[in-house]
Structures are given as C-alpha cells and as structure tokens.
C-alpha cells in the first residue's frame, strides 16, 4: 500500500496524518486564522509531510460538509440522473453556503433512499489549489461522517466535531442508514479507536479515518482534471494507442521470423549437445558400410565359384555317345570345343539342353576323318555362356 | 531559435507530411528487409530442423547400429581367416600360387608354368589375385584339380579353362595326356605391412 495523507478540516485548524501500512508515520496540525485561510494552512501543513506526492484524502468536518437523505426527488431509476438533479438543485436539498456547494455522487441505500453529500465549495477550491501546488494530483474529498462510517463498522456511532455532534447508524454492509444531529453534546464525549491511535492525540482521529477510508466509497468526491491536464491525458492516450498499434503491427510482421530464429537457436543448441553422439553415429555408420561392402564382395565371389566346372560337367553329360573332345576352351563370356563324332550335327541339339550354354553353333567346316577303323566327323562348336542370375 | 513564420495549420500539414513520407520510406525499406530476414530465419530453421531430426534418428539407432556392426565384424573376421593374405597384391598372388601348387600336386597335375596376376590394392582392402597354370594331366587329374579348387575352404574360382588333347584317337593303352591351361582367381586380404 502506498502512503496516504489524511487531512481533516476543522474550524480554525487542519490536522494531518501520513499513514503507511495502516500505521501513522507522521502527524501534524496547522492553525487557520479563518475559513478563508484554510488553503494557506494546508500549504503550511504539507511542507512538513515527509512524502513528495502522497495520495491525499481530505475529510471535511461537520462544519464544512452536509450528509443527508435526499427527499422530494421525482422517481428516477438511474442514480446518475438523480445525482445530476441533486447537483443542479443543490440549494434546494442542502443548507446554503455563501460560496456555493460541491455535491458528491448520490448513493442509494438498501431501503431505496437516496443519499448525497455537499461540501463547501470555497473550502474545497482552496484546499485543492494547495494540494495541486504541492503536486498532489490524486485527491479525494469526503464528509467526515462518510469517512468515519467506513471505518466504524455496523452499529450506532457518535461523531463530535467543531462543537457539533451527530449520531450515525451504519448498516451491515458498511453504509450509513441513518444520521441525526445531537444538540448539546461536545466532542470530548467521543473516543477514538485506541489500538490505532495509541500515543496520538484523539484530535487526529478524523484525519486518520480520512486516510484509511475507501477512495471509491460512497460520497467520495474526486476533483475534475484541469483542462490542460485533460488535453495532455487525451494526447497521451492517442500517442499510447498509436504506439501500441505500431508495436502490434511490427510484432505481427516479425513474429514468424522471431519464432523461426528462436527455433533455430534451440535446434542449434540441441545439435551442439548431440555433436559427439552424431560423430559416433557417423563413424559407426561408415564402418558398417565398409564391413557390409566387404561381406557382399565375398558373398558375390563365393556365388561365382564352380561355374566353369559345372559347365564342363554339363557338357560331358550332354554330348552324344562316341564323341571325343579334341580341345575345349572356356572363358568368362564364351567357349568353344572341337569334337570328333560319328555325326557332328547331332551335337548341337544335345547342347540345347544345357542351361549355361547359349547359341551353340558349328564354326568352320566339318571334315571327315578316319579314326582307326571308324569314320568320324571333326567339327568346332562355339557358344556363349549364360550370365549368372 | 529560427522563426519560420509557420501558422499552426502549416505546422500540422508539415508534421503530417513528414510523418507520411517517413512512414512510406520506412515501409519501403523496412518491409523488404524484414521479409528477407524472415525468409532467412525460416530457411535456417527448416534446415536445422531436418538436421536435428536426422541427428535424433541417428542417435536413437546408434545402439542397433553398434550391434549390427559387431555381428558383421565377427562374420567378416571368420571369413577373413579363409582368405588369401599378404602384405601386397603380389604377395597374395604368390600365396595363391602356393595353394594351387599344392592342389596340383595332389591332383597329379604336372605344372609346366605359372603366371601370377595381381592388381595393386591399399592395405586392409580386398583384392582379386589370379594365377594362370599350364600343365599336363589326364581326365581324372583335371577333374580332381577342378573339384579341389572350387570346393577349397579358401575362396578360389576357375575363370578360364582350356584343354587340348593331342591324340584323341590314341589307343586306350596309351597314357592320356591333356594339356591344360587354367586361370584361377582368389580373393585376398591385403594386410598392412608391419614396420620393423
């Protein structure tokens, strides 16, 4: 909670307390020669306040404020309209003051009765000027009775000030339900709450109650902003809205890029953290490829074994009876042999059954020879080798 | 301060014009720059995301890769013991010639000539080496030689074969004499040379 300055205004004197965290940290009083010098007295009082610009709450004593039930108003539902009616006809509802009245917002209690408070306009203007000169822009003014009711709690309470006494009845919700002037009582009969004001003069009790009163409570009056201040505020609002618009547009334009940049930074960190694991994975992968390649090569070589031997075996099986090979040559793609057979032409049909022999053909001439007592034919056969599957 | 003699309306017009010109200048220069920067960031993020996904997959499969590698290394080590070996391709070819000489002797193949072929290969690599054998034997000897070569534990393969019979019609009492020319290939591991 920020420090709050509570000021109570009485005939011939102003009293002030500075409250921080519900504790009185400063108190002072300033005499006023007349009601016209209350502003000057407040300026003197403010000089001693140990805070530069406290939030100020001023409770105007019973001599400068009136609080009452407003009767005789037409039936108006809206409280703001009713308040405006009261404000424009203040002298019809309140005792006249020589310098006019400042009327607070109206308040409707649980029974539907309309309440309003009026403050002495001259006193209010003097005090407000003094406070603004000091730099206090956050000012609240209220009748002492309203400030006391907010702090007092439910029940019937007596308030004494400037030789006047009133009795207020506060309801369960903290709102005043009844107020009555008590003629012939003085303030000595009223006792302040001892727990808070221990060691402090009971005369500061109204100032303390003003300091701790709710700022937005009923009957609180807030001075309108000065015209220049209002213009400044309006301009500041426009500038703020424009700045927010520009910032929002810039954020909308740059958001995908910023998001991508953040994502890239996160991924970079992740990649850096996994660097050693990635190097190890790459090394293992490369070694696996090398080993697999060598295993494949050995397997391919093993699969190619035996083809020439199987070809020779198949050739021996397929040649007709009484056929002799004079020569045989086999390389990786082709082969040829020279054979002696009773009928050379019988060789080719037999070779067609051999899978590893393709396109067998007799090359050159077939010659007839005598082999001992037999007549045989000499022929050279050439063929292509089938490719392995 | 220099008094320009501007009326309040002129000042407002001047401020509004300057604001519009400044805004247009800022937008025309700033938007393309922001757009280019954004494209760069998006491309970088996409590239890093794919890299990170690949890295995560790699790290996840590292244990499985290690297991596979160990199993295949064991298989390769087992096969390596059957391969020809030597500090160079020429040495491996000599090893092959030695093996073939043993097989030929066991198969009663009289070797007349051996020709070694070897391509150079780096240490640790597998290399093909070959030996061409020319000799004389009979049919049984040739069959035994071929069978021994093709079924030997050492991976050898007959790539070319040339057989000729000088007297195909010779009497059966005459010993058979086949002139044989065989090209045998083998797979060799070139081991790194040991430094003294």
Is B61 exposed, middle or buried, given 0-12, 13-18 or 19+ CB atoms closer than 10 A? Answer: middle
Contact A257 B38 (CB under 8 A): yes
Kindly identify which residue of chain B lies nearest to residue A274, measuring between CA atoms: B55
**What is the Cα–Cα distance from A276 to A287, expressed in whole angstroms?**
17
Contact B169 A331 (CB under 8 A): no
The strand pairing partners of A262, in sequence order, are none
B102-123 as b/e: b if 16+ CB within 10 A: ebbeebebebeebeeebeebee
Q: pLDDT band at B174, cuts 50/70/90?
A: confident
B residues 34-93 lying closer than 8 A (beta carbon) to A: 34, 37-38, 41-42, 44-45, 48-49, 51-52, 55-56, 58-59, 61-62, 65-66, 68-69, 72-73, 75-76, 79, 83
At residue A109, the pLDDT reads 81
Find the range with the poorest average confidence among A85-89, A192-196, B77-81, B111-115.
A192-196
Question: Which of B161, B185, B188, B189 best probes binding to A when mutated, by most A CB atoms within 10 angstroms?
Answer: B161
Q: Mean of the pLDDT values across residues B3-10?
A: 78
Measured between alpha carbons, how far is residue A377 from residues A340, A346, A359, A382, A383 in Å? Answer: 5, 11, 21, 16, 19
Q: What is the DSSP string of B84-144?
A: EEESSHHHHHHHHHHHHHHHHHHTT-EEEEEEEEE----TTSEEEEEEEEEEEE-HHHHHH
Rounded to the nearest integer, the mean pLDDT of chain A is: 86
Q: Which of A154, A92, A100 is nearest to A122 (CA)?
A: A100
3-state helix, strand, coil in chain B (%, to 5): 55, 25, 25
Calculate how close chain A gets to B1, using CA atoms only, in Å. 25
Contact A291 B65 (CB under 8 A): no
pTM of the model: 0.51
Q: Mean of the pLDDT values across residues B63-75?
A: 92
Find the range with the poorest average confidence among A15-19, A228-232, B91-95.
A228-232
Q: What is the ipTM of this complex?
A: 0.75
Question: Higher-confidence residue: B134 or B121?
Answer: B134
Calculate how close chain B gets to A348, using CA atoms only, in Å. 20
For residue A258, the chain B residues in CB contact (below 8 A) are 41
Question: Which of A249, A285, A294 best probes binding to B when mutated, by most B CB atoms within 10 angstroms?
Answer: A294
Q: Is the pLDDT of residue A13 over 80?
A: yes
Q: Would you give the distance in Å from CA A109 to the centre of its chain?
A: 41
Q: Which of A216, A179, A182, A220 is nearest to A69 (CA)?
A: A179
**What is the Cα–Cα distance from B130 to B90, expressed in whole angstroms?**
10
**What is the Cα–Cα distance from A337 to A363, expressed in whole angstroms?**
10
Number of H helices, E strands in chain B: 4, 5
Q: What is the DSSP string of A50-72?
A: SSSS-EEEEEE-TTTEEEEEE-S
Sheet holding A55-60, edge to edge: A23-31, A13-20, A4-10, A55-60, A139-143
How is residue A361 written in tokens?
């053909």
**What is the Cα–Cα distance from B39 to B192, expressed in whole angstroms?**
52
Sign of CA dihedral A264, A265, A270, A275: positive
- For strand A155-161 and strand A164-170, is the pairing parallel, antiparallel, or unpaired? antiparallel
Q: Is the pLDDT of residue A215 over 90?
A: no
How is residue A132 written in tokens?
């603004």
B127 sits in the region (left: phi over 0; alpha: psi -120 to 50; else beta) called beta
Q: pLDDT band at A352, cuts 50/70/90?
A: confident
**What is the Cα–Cα distance from A175 to A207, expressed in whole angstroms?**
20
Q: Is the pLDDT of residue A194 over 50?
A: no
Calculate how close chain A gets to B104, using CA atoms only, in Å. 16
Of A301, A309, A340, Cβ closest to residue B146:
A309
At residue A195, the pLDDT reads 46
- Determine the straight-line distance between the first and last CA of chain B, rounded to whole angstroms: 94
For residue B44, the chain A residues in CB contact (below 8 A) are 260, 264
Q: Is the pLDDT of residue B3 over 80?
A: no
Of A257, A263, A274, Cβ closest to residue B37:
A257
Contact B157 A287 (CB under 8 A): no
Calculate how close chain A gets to B26, using CA atoms only, in Å. 12
Q: Which of B111, B90, B89 is nearest to B100 (CA)?
A: B111
Give tens-digit pLDDT for A162-188: 878 888 888 877 788 888 888 765 544
**What is the Cα–Cα distance from A180 to A157, expressed in whole angstroms?**
10
The strand pairing partners of A328, in sequence order, are A337, B163
Q: pLDDT band at B2, cuts 50/70/90?
A: low
Question: Which of B63, B158, B191 best probes binding to A when mutated, by most A CB atoms within 10 angstroms?
Answer: B158
Q: pLDDT band at A18, cuts 50/70/90?
A: very high
């Amino acid at each position: 909670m920020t420090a709050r300055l509570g000021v109570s205004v009485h005939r011939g004197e102003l009293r002030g307390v500075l409250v921080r965290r519900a504790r009185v940290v400063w108190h002072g009083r300033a005499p006023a020669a007349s009601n016209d010098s209350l502003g000057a007295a407040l300026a003197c009082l403010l000089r001693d306040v140990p805070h530069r610009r406290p939030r100020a709450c001023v409770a105007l004593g019973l001599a400068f404020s009136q609080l009452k039930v407003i009767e005789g108003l037409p039936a108006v539902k809206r409280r703001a309209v009713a308040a405006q009616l009261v404000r424009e006809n203040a002298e019809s509802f309140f005792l006249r003051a020589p310098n006019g009245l400042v009327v607070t917002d109206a308040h409707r209690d649980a029974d539907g009765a309309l309440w309003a408070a009026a403050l002495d306009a001259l006193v209010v203007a003097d005090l407000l000027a003094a406070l603004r000169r000091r730099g206090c822009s956050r000012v609240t003014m209220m009748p002492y009775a309203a400030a006391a009711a907010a702090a007092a709690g439910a029940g019937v309470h007596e308030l004494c000030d400037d030789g006047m006494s009133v009795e207020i009845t506060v309801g369960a919700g903290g709102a005043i339900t009844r107020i009555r002037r008590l003629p012939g009582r003085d303030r000595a009969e009223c006792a302040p709450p001892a727990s808070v004001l221990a060691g402090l003069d009971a005369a500061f009790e109204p100032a303390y109650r003003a300091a701790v009163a709710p700022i937005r409570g009923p009957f609180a009056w807030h001075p309108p902003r000065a015209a220049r201040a209002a213009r400044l505020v309006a301009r500041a609002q426009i500038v703020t809205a424009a700045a927010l618009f520009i910032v929002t547009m810039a954020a909308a334009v740059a958001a995908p890029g910023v998001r991508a940049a953040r994502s890239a930074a996160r991924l970079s960190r992740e990649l850096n953290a996994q660097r050693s694991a990635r190097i190890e994975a790459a090394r293992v992968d490369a070694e696996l490829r090398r080993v697999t390649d060598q295993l494949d090569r050995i397997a391919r070589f093993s699969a190619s074994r035996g083809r020439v031997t199987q070809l020779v075996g198949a050739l021996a099986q397929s040649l007709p009876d009484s056929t002799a090979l004079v020569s045989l040559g086999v390389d990786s793609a082709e082969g040829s042999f020279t054979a002696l057979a009773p009928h050379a032409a019988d060789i080719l049909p037999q070779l067609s059954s051999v899978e590893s022999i393709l396109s067998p053909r007799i090359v050159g001439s077939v010659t007839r020879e005598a082999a001992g007592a037999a007549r045989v034919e000499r022929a050279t056969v050439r063929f292509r080798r089938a490719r392995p599957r | 301060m220099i008094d320009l003699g501007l009326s309040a309306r002129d000042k407002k017009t001047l401020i509004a014009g300057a604001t519009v010109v400044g805004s247009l200048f800022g937008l025309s220069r700033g938007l393309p720059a922001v757009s280019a920067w954004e494209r760069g960031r998006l491309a970088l993020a996409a590239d890093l995301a794919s890299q990170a996904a690949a890295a995560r997959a790699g790290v996840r499969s590292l244990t499985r890769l290690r297991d596979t590698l160990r199993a295949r290394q064991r298989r390769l080590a087992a096969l390596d013991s059957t391969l020809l070996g030597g500090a160079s391709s020429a040495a491996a070819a000599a090893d092959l010639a030695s093996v073939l000489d043993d097989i030929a002797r066991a198969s009663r193949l009289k070797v007349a000539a051996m020709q070694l072929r070897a391509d150079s290969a780096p240490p640790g690599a597998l290399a093909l080496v070959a030996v061409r054998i020319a000799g004389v034997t009979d049919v049984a000897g040739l069959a035994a030689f071929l069978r021994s070569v093709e079924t030997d534990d050492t991976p050898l393969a007959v790539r070319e074969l040339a057989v000729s019979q000088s007297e195909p019609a010779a009497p059966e009492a005459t010993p058979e004499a086949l002139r044989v020319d065989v090209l045998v290939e083998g797979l060799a591991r070139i081991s790194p040379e040991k430094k003294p």
